[in-house]
Structure 1
Amino acid sequence: MKHLNKRLRTFLLIVLALAASFTAKEGLSPAPKATSGVTVKRVVDGDTLIIDDGKDTRVRLIGVDTPETVKPRGRVEPWGKEASDFSKKALTGKSVYLEYDEEKEDHYGRTLAYIWTEDPRTSDKPKEEILFNYQLVASGYARERSYEPNTKYQAILHEGEIVAMDHVRGIWAVEGKEGPAKGNKKSKIYHLPSDKSYDTVSPQNTVIFENAMEAERAGYQRTFSR
Structure 2
Amino acid sequence: MSVIRPGDLYPLLALLLPACDLSGAGGPQPDPQNLCGPTTAIVASVIDGDTIVLDSGQKVRYLMIDTPEITKGKHDCYGEEARQYNEDLVLGQEVTLTYDEECKDTYGRLLAYVEAPDGELNTLLVERGFACVLIIPPNGSDREAEFMSLELEARQKHAGLWGVCAGEVTCD
Same fold (TM over 0.5): yes
1:168 CA drift (Å): 0.2
Aligned counterpart, 1:82:
81
Are 1:147 and 2:136 counterparts? yes
- CA distance in 2 between counterparts of 1:39 and 1:174 reads 32
Runs (4+) of structure 1 moved beyond 3 Å? none
Q: How does 1:1-226 map to 2 (within 5 A)?
A: 36-53=39-56, 56-72=57-73, 75-117=74-116, 130-151=119-140, 152-176=142-166, 178=167, 222=172
Partner amino acid, structure 2, of 1:77: D
1:71 CA drift (Å): 4.1
- CA distance in 1 between counterparts of 2:54 and 2:155 reads 31
Structure with the bigger RCO (C-alpha within 8 Å, sep 6+) is 2
- CA distance in 2 between counterparts of 1:166 and 1:95 reads 33
- CA distance in 2 between counterparts of 1:158 and 1:100 reads 19
* % same residue: 33
- CA distance in 2 between counterparts of 1:38 and 1:95 reads 5
- CA distance in 2 between counterparts of 1:153 and 1:97 reads 18
* CA deviation vs aligned residue, 1:165-197 (integer Å, no higher than 9, x gap): 121011111344x3xxxxxxxxxxxxxxx7xxx
- Which residues of structure 1 form unaligned runs of 5+? 1-32, 119-128, 179-193, 195-211, 213-220
- CA distance in 2 between counterparts of 1:91 and 1:64 reads 16
- CA distance in 2 between counterparts of 1:106 and 1:60 reads 8
TM-score, normalised by the number of residues in structure 2: 0.72
- CA distance in 2 between counterparts of 1:63 and 1:48 reads 12
CA contact (8 A) 2:78 2:165 kept: no
- Size of the alignment, in residue pairs? 135
- CA distance in 2 between counterparts of 1:44 and 1:112 reads 15
- CA distance in 1 between counterparts of 2:39 and 2:109 reads 16
CA contact (8 A) 2:63 2:112 kept: yes
User: What SS is found at the alignment partner of 1:148?
Assistant: coil
- CA distance in 2 between counterparts of 1:170 and 1:71 reads 23
User: Computing the radius of gyration over CA atoms, which structure comes out larger, 1 or 2?
Assistant: 2
